[in-house]
Amino acid sequence: MEKSEQTIFTEGEFYQAHFDPKTYLNSFFSLPQGHCEENYLELELRQLTNTFKTGKWKGKRLIEIGSGPSIVSLISACEHFEEIVMSDFADRNRQEIESWLREDEGCFDWDPIIQFVCKLEGNRTPMEVKVRLRQTVKQVLMCDVRLENPFEPLEVEPADCVVTTLCLEAACKDLDIYQRALQSLKALLKPGGVLVMTGALNETFYMVGGQRFSCLPLSKDIVQGMLRNLGFSIEHFNLLPIQERYEKLISDFDGIFHVVACKPA
């Protein structure tokens, strides 16, 4: 590993230049089981399904921060909101989402993932999900979580729900920036709105193809403490078990958290 890889945190500008969404999707999202060296994806699909299938969290608008090129976080959620705003810093990630929304020839095939979620839910078909999600996503915006308003210069109407998955720890190079990003997400919520967030614990890097990307190491105590300091009421904080890995070649996280937290009414 070159010294520059150890010392330079790969922020949004690095993603813009070096992140390959097609390699990422093919490596991590071709099957519900995810990458062969990790068991993260299936666990998170189950968490997201359990969070949204009850219908407790619903409303007019959902905002997803840092969607990447993926629709995974919205498969269950889309049934319960009238409109969805997706977002990412990197142009090619947003283009990949838009390609799927338009049903372009050659767009990524999400059917295996959607079919898995439909089996978990037990009440929708994959076609119903695809039609609903394509109808519900109204905007795919550029966002930068390091800014007080991630959508600057746009002003986006506050949401009933904000979702973010494996984004903040990859975008924020230190804890001060991470805390400010959480504050920005709180500002995007209506009073009483809900934050649904998934993140990696103690992760310093992950690989996409041969490219290394940085992560900010987080602990359960750090994340819970910051949310509570911002006034959130934590409804659920689930730690997802990760299988033991003898060689951490793709990433080095040792756990995944899934948190549901409410902004004060």
Is 210 labeled as ligand-binding?
Answer: no
Binding residue per annotation — 178?
A: no
Angle at 118 between CA 116 and CA 124, to 5 degrees: 165
Q: Say if residues 143 and 65 touch (Cβ distance below 8 Å).
A: yes
> CA-CA distance, 22 to 98, in Å (whole number)?
14
Contact indicator for 28, 109 with CB cutoff of 8 Å? no
Residue type, 168: L
Q: Is 9 helix (H, G, I), strand (E, B) or coil?
A: coil
The DSSP annotation for 141-158 comes to: EE--TTSSSTTTT-----
24 annotated ligand binder = yes
CB within 8 A of 123, min separation 6: which ones?
none
Q: Is 87 annotated as a binding residue?
A: no
Establish whether 252 is an annotated binding residue: no
* Residues annotated within a binding site: 24, 66-67, 88, 93, 144-145
* Residues annotated within a binding site for S-adenosyl-L-methionine: 24, 66-67, 88, 93, 144-145
